[in-house]
Structure 1
Amino acid sequence: MSERNYNKLNRDENIAQMQGELLEAILSEESIFPWNPADPETENYLSNIEGVFTLTDWSESEDILPRSQDLFAQLDRCWEKFPTREIDSSLQEKFGDRLPTDWLETISARVQDLTEAGLSPIDRLVECVKPLLSNWAIEDLQVFARPFAYAMRGKGFEESEVKQWEELSEVERARYALKVAHYALERTDRDRG
């Protein structure tokens, strides 16, 4: 058995064991943790737990510093994978009265997914709206995306007054969705760099 297969098998066994322990803890009649902080028994529980765990054991260990740095670096990488909800609120604030909320959420999620994708500006814009405009040909969306992609290269893009969503034609909706995606991508790029 190769080392890779052995590691995968070992990881799968560990996951199965953890899932079993979690299920056992959930189904257990015994209280695992006192969730009510106002309950007087909570203070006793926490005091007992703190008595079992002492930092002096850890402070004497020489490998605690490198291991803790590795842990925090890995936690940082994990948090980077989770999208920030800041762009959602920004889109809702700027376009919420003119675009359906589900469209804003989809664009925001796609922007977050594409932050590390090495796509061209046009492709990034198209990918942001493609789930919403699935009946459109990619080539047509690329044509509509060109002015926005040009604006992403440093040239300004004029913002014009828009009608209410219900009054927009399919073409106007596609263009407006691209406009929102353009705004979201620019804001995300600016916040990252």
Structure 2
Amino acid sequence: MIEKTNGTDTFNALPSEIELEFLETLLVPEDGTYPWNPADDESEAYFSELERQIATQDWLDEEINLKSPVFYGKLDSLWSEVSHNSNYKFQPNHSVVDHLQVTLNSAFADSVPPGWLNAIAQKAAGIFSSQQSMSDQLVECVQSLLPAWGIDDLLVLTRPFAHSMRSSESPDVTSIMNKVRNRDWINLSEIEQAKISVAIAYYAFKQLNSSVSED
């Protein structure tokens, strides 16, 4: 006959493994209690023995091998999200960069190395929406390609192009490029390379402005 207490059936259930471990902890002798003070001399021996016991448990290695890929996969996922959220404002849209690189190469690849054009396109797309003046944008766009040039010298070259953005007059990039067509890039003087680089950067920003206007 099953006894009832307060309307609830009572029965004897087998204790779980956790309950057994808890009871064992409560029943350990006083000299075997947990060393709450790590500074005690006996603490080191206690923890060494504990590590030894854990190391002999095969299930721990199996558990680590089973769960670690999932754990590290989650970390990689979280890190990717953090990196993306931290840097997305500074990364231009890949389609914009690709389109601009194709445009510049189609227009100037017969006179300027593709790597040079691609670098200008990448930089122009990256700083197009910044709050810098046009002169500063043009300088930043070509500065890494012309390390021997000082900022002040580059600003002198950008003035005609920066001024054109505020007026109806527009520098003729085609005429600038015609002066160096059919000449090897490496045979051009530094001043010629600098002028062409600024002109191409200006052309790139014009293309970006046109794309925004069309949208």
Using structure 2 for the length normalisation, give the TM-score: 0.53
CA offsets per residue over residues 59-100 of structure 1, 9 Å max, x none? Answer: xxxxxxxxxxxxxxxxxx99x842321100000000011111
User: 1:157 matched to which residue of 2?
Assistant: 171
Offset at 1:156?
A: 1.7
Residue number in structure 2 paired with 1:187:
207
Which residue in the other structure is 1:82 paired with?
A: 93
Rounded Cα–Cα distance in structure 1 between residues aligned with 2:154 and 2:104: 21
Distance in 2, Cα, partners of 1:155 & 1:187: 17
Q: Residues 92 and 125 of structure 2 are in contact (CA less than 8 Å); yes or no, is this contact kept in structure 1?
A: no
* One-letter code aligned to 1:156: S
Q: Distance in 1 between matches of 2:206 and 2:122?
A: 15
Q: Give unpaired runs (5+ residues) of structure 1.
A: 1-13, 22-76
Q: Which has the larger radius of gyration?
A: 2
Residue 91 of structure 1 corresponds to which residue in structure 2? 104
Aligned residues: 125
Among 144, 151, 160, which residue is 1:131 paired with? 144
- Taking the aligned partners of 1:81 and 1:106, their CA distance within structure 2 comes to 13
CA–CA separation in structure 2 for the residues paired with 1:92 and 1:179: 14
Alignment correspondent of 1:32: none
Which residue in 1 is equivalent to 2:15? none
Q: CA deviation at 1:125?
A: 0.6
> Given the superposition, is the C-alpha separation of residues 190 and 167 from structure 1 closer, same or farther in structure 2, using an over 3 Å criterion?
same
> Following the alignment from structure 2 to structure 1, what is the Cα–Cα distance between the partners of residues 99 and 204?
10
- Alignment identity in percent? 30
Alignment of 1:21-100 (within 5 A): 81-83=92-94, 84=96, 85-100=98-113
1:174 corresponds to: 194
Question: In the aligned structure 2, how far is the partner of 1:15 from the partner of 1:173?
Answer: 53
| Contact 2:135–2:162 (CA under 8 A) maintained in structure 1 | yes
Cα distance in 2, alignment partners of residues 146 and 104 from structure 1: 21
> How has the CA–CA distance of structure 1 residues 147 and 189 changed in structure 2, closer, same or farther, with 3 Å as cutoff?
same
Q: Kindly report the root-mean-square deviation, in angstroms, between the aligned alpha carbons of the 2 structures.
A: 2.6
Deviation at 1:151, TM superposition (A): 2.1
| Structure 2 gap ranges (5+) | 1-69, 78-87
What is the Cα deviation at residue 18 of structure 1? 2.1
Higher relative contact order (CA 8 A, sep 6+): 1
Cα 1:189–1:20 shift into 2, 3 Å: closer
